[in-house]
Amino acid sequence: MNNRVFPPAAGRVPPGAIGHNRGVVRRNYAFMPPEGVLISRLPQYRDTIVRILAAPVLGAAFAQYVLEIAPGGGTPVAYAEEGVQHFFYVLSGEASFGLTGEAPKALTEGGFTYLPPATPFTLRNETAQPLRVLALRKRYDAAPGLAMPEPILSHRDAVPMTNHTGMEGRGFQFLLPYGDLRFDFEMNLMWFKPGVCFPAVETHVMEHGLYMLEGQGLYFLDQDWHEIWARDFIWMGGYCPQQFYPTGHGDACYLLYKNVNRDIAL
């Protein structure tokens, strides 16, 4: 692994053991530190570096990205996808987000938006500072008798902190309406005080995309522990044994995707 204590000279590889890193890809999970995720670009975004975190080629049933949008960059025209939902969460900077027929609105760090399928939108950086956005795409799994959800534009500060577990030191912010069966996935902010952990190793059918926002900790995946820091990403497939234990001096928080509210396809 790279030794971060000794920053390298410009243009040189940092000191460390070649070929060793924290990144791991297994049959039913992947642990990815940011330094190993290479850049891509997409035609619907101008002046934007795209770092693809999860994709079907990995085993995921969704796609997740970090968008690094330069000043003046973003969608040059409105963009929409038939049958595909979008979710965006501002990691840093300020985004200008627009829906057709409405004036664009500013989303600062912690701002988020949900878009049902076929909803045209614009996402731009109209400031002089860089913008980082976590993005997710998922094909909508329609359910008979349920209407399509409406778009959501909000901020995490407007979402109440709850704790349905009764475990001291836990916090949950449900960014999408909890228990609303129109939605086929959740995006939740999970908060942990130092030393607070899952009460048991979880093993369940839901798939996860986890992006670490604050703090650090140890994450148990399958049969191994991994040290997780801010900006690390984890994909967890169904029935991957998992548990989290925060190890930092302050709170730990991650943004968690999971598929819910739909029966099993046979």
Same domain, 237 and 140: no
Based on the fold, state whether residues 109 and 209 are members of the same structural domain. no
CATH of the domain at 60: 2.60.120.10
- Give the span between the Cα atoms of 260 and 238, in whole angstroms: 12
Q: Each residue of 37-91: pLDDT tens digit?
A: 999 999 999 999 999 999 999 999 999 999 999 999 999 999 999 999 999 999 9
- The model's pLDDT over 187-223, given as tens digits with 9 standing for 90+, comes to 999 999 998 988 899 999 999 999 999 999 999 999 9
Q: Identify whether residues 86 and 180 lie together within a single domain.
A: no
Q: What is the DSSP letter of 37?
A: -
* Residue 191: C-alpha distances to residues 17, 28, 127, 188 (Å): 34, 24, 30, 10
Instruction: Please report whether residue 251 resides in a domain.
Output: yes
46 and 91 in a single domain? The answer is yes
Instruction: Say whether both 87 and 140 belong to one domain.
Output: yes
How far from chain centre, in Å, is Cα 56? 16
pLDDT (tens digit per residue) in 27-51: 999 999 999 999 999 999 999 999 9
Asked whether residue 255 is assigned to any structural domain, the reply reads yes
Domain interval for residue 71: 31-154
Q: Are residues 144 and 200 in the same domain?
A: no
Mark 92-109 as b/e (b = at least 16 C-beta within 10 Å). ebebbbbbeeeeeeebeb
Which pair of structure tokens corresponds to residue 215? 């703090």
Q: pTM to 2 decimals?
A: 0.94
- 8 found inside a domain: no
